[in-house]
A and B are shown apart, each in its own frame.
Chain A
Amino acid sequence: MSASTPLAPRFAGVRTPRFWLLSAAALCFAVGIADPALNIERTVGTYQMVFDITQSMNTQDMGSSDARVSRLDFARTLAVGTLDRLPCGAHVGVSVFVERKTQPLLMPIEVCAHRAALKDAISHIDWRMAWAADSHLYYGTYSALNDIRTLAPGAALAFFTDGHQAPALHTGRTPAWDGTPGDIPGVLIGLGGSTPEPVPKLGEKGRIDGYWTAEDTAGFASAGAPTLSVADMERLGGDLRNAPQRAAGSDADHLSRRRDDVLDDLARLTGLGTAVARSPEQIAALLRALPGGRLTNTRFSLRVPLTLAGLSALLASFAPRPARRTPRWRLTARLPLPFHFRSS
């Protein structure tokens, strides 16, 4: 470009902010191709999810008031939703509870890689898996903790239950636990409404055949009724000998509600926490807040943030400069640069 050329272009594009934005974008993309990552160390837990599948869990008092679902349906949906909100690396196992015992269906496996299998196992949980109809929740919780101690040490318990104990317990007959409270962390996740609702009797095909009545429940004796001599019975009066062997205050046992009192009592005995089930986010947060867990390295890829940064820089480099006030009557126009190329 000698001075003799009548119109010499001055290459000054290099110094503009647009040039630098575009360079930054290119740099971001270039680094992004290499896919750098941060290794973040974090604790991930192992959780054994236990589902109460006794008949009170079929009570339809969960969900919105126009689309009631059963407590068990709600728990299943909640659990599957929780899987998606636990960090990869966390392990989850699945058990069911009826009568006095829990039965593990799956020992803990990693949630991300085995999501399909976990979802399969959880969504097939059914009240018909029950091998008995009683619901001795205290024994069940102890069994769940025992399973963890013997089969999955290091895991925490997530017990989805309504706290309904059937048959009811006599006062002072609460089963004792031989473990140390707080030894195994966990949370009892309460399901069910706060008003007593009838418990449906479901037929083989899952249709509601009827509801439990007071007569039905009265047919099942509570364990551990005090042994009375004939003399005692006479002294106490009434027709005590033929009276149902029911714990005091269990007349309305055919109706079921969320028994926070039972859950709190269990929590006191075992050192577990309690919560009222609301959302998968809540359950995932509760589980992640439990003590224990293992340290794992999680690879946090920087590709997405880099691409985002590059894209933003790229778009910013295209954005028009804030318009300068140009008098409309002047016969000038702004032309994009390529129009100015000229062979000389």
Chain B
Amino acid sequence: MWSIDHPEALWALALAVLPLFWHGQRTLAHGWLPGVPPDAASRTLALVLRLTGALTVAAAVCALAGLHRQGSAVERVGTGAHIVITLDRSASMSDGFAGRGAQQGDEPKGRAAARLLEDFVAERPRDLFGMVSFSTAPVHGLTLTGDQDAVRAAVRASAAPGVGLTNIAAGLTMALEQFRDKPLTGSRVVLLVSDGAAQIDARAQNQIRRLFAENRSALYWIFLRTAGGRGPSDPPDPEKGFDPAPEYFLNEYFRDLGVSYRLYEADTPDALARAIADVSRLQNQPLRYFETPPREDLAGLCLAIALAGSLLLLFARSLEVSAWSR
């Protein structure tokens, strides 16, 4: 596939017509032209020299325009996945973990998650990553992309203290929308990292169920338990009277989605690291991905043609005679 960096420079190709009219050759006065016999060889040579001039100009213009060949993407099969990182950025993510030995001044959950996720991204150079974060409202970070540095910059940005509430439904919906109209070339994963849950109303439940089915995405939920908080595996306690236990019911709902689903409960940064390593291992399934071969610059080749043309012309010029002497 040939492409050009500066198409507007191609207007200068019109200049290639000039050598067809301007031969740039020394002329000699001649007494009587009709007396010169027509010479096919001379005419051909004249035409060839003019065409050489035109070609030389055209080649130089192509070099200016930045002609290059961009090979079409080659499909390869490797291992990997399309992963949309769906990150909770609610205010509670600035709190510490629940695990034993937790104390004031520990690394906040949000920062630990950002740090470990950044490593996770760095270890998976072939995956495509998308980034969605949510608090009270969903926030689009990045569309699925292979730009690793950008994904890591987005993950790093999530280390900032969070704000607002935990609106999981909106975050999940936005994450699943990322897969819409994308070719299904590898396993799809929504990696939900949150430290709480919220009740999802029936309408949103149906929508999320439909989106999961349509987009054939797996769901991994890494739950970061807050100190003193409860997790998805604690059923509501009937002794306590009214106990909404949103984490428990959300887990039940996810299990009922009919998609590949896994729950990881992380109490400590180490547990979080283990959970992420496990996701990493699970997601090494065959993936069809496209690799774009590196760009092949043709400007040098164009210049070589221009050089050859001008050397040829130079040779012709050096054979020019200034006068016929007797």
Contact = CB atoms under 8 A, between A and B. Distances in A.
Interface stretch (A58-66, A165-173, A259-267, A310-318): A310-318
Contacts of A102: 160
Nearest to B151: A117
Given A29-B60, A106-B153, A319-B24, A117 B142 contact: yes
Given A22-B313, A314-B310, A105 B300 contact: no
Contacts of A95: 157
B163 A103 contact: yes
A331 interface: yes
Interface stretch (A2-10, A227-235, A240-248, A292-300): A2-10
Nearest to B31: A332
A208 B300 CA distance: 56
Given A13-B321, A340-B324, A314 B26 contact: no
B44 to A, nearest CB: 9
B321 A340 contact: yes
Interface string A303-344: 110011011001101111000000000011111111111000
B26 A9 contact: no
A22 B163 CA distance: 69
A121 interface: yes
15 contacts: A7-B324, A8-B324, A9-B324, A10-B324, A29-B310, A35-B300, A93-B153, A109-B149, A116-B145, A129-B138, A132-B164, A307-B299, A338-B45, A339-B39, A340-B28
Interface of B: 12, 15, 18-19, 22-33, 36, 39, 41-42, 45-46, 49, 53, 56-57, 60-61, 63-64, 89, 133, 135-143, 145, 147, 149-150, 153-154, 156-161, 163-165, 299-300, 303-304, 306-307, 310-311, 313-314, 317-326
A332 B26 contact: no
Contact of B314 (A26, A121, A315, A332): A26
A22 B57 CA distance: 12
Given A121-B142, A314-B310, A332 B29 contact: yes
Contacts of B140: 121, 124, 126, 129
Contact of A336 (B19, B23, B307): B23
Contacts of B139: 96, 103, 105, 129
A337 B141 contact: no
A314 B160 contact: no
Give me the 10 closest cross-chain CB pairs, A-B, nearest first: A13-B320, A12-B322, A117-B150, A131-B164, A334-B27, A9-B321, A104-B157, A318-B24, A131-B136, A124-B140
A147 interface: yes
Contacts of A131: 135-137, 163-165
A310 B143 contact: no
Contact of A13 (B26, B39, B42, B63): B26
A52 interface: no
B157 A33 contact: no
A325 B36 CA distance: 24
Nearest to B313: A22
Given A7-B326, A32-B63, A103-B160, A22 B317 contact: yes
Nearest to B15: A315
A33 B304 contact: yes
B24 A106 contact: no
Contacts of B311: 26
Contacts of A132: 136, 163-164
Contacts of A334: 27-30
Given A106-B141, A129-B137, A147 B160 contact: yes
Given A116-B147, A336-B25, A29 B306 contact: yes
Given A18-B26, A106-B153, A340-B28, 15 more contacts: A10-B324, A11-B322, A23-B314, A32-B303, A33-B304, A35-B300, A104-B157, A104-B158, A107-B157, A114-B150, A310-B60, A311-B61, A317-B24, A337-B319, A341-B45
B318 A11 contact: yes
B178 to A, nearest CB: 11
A102 B23 CA distance: 67
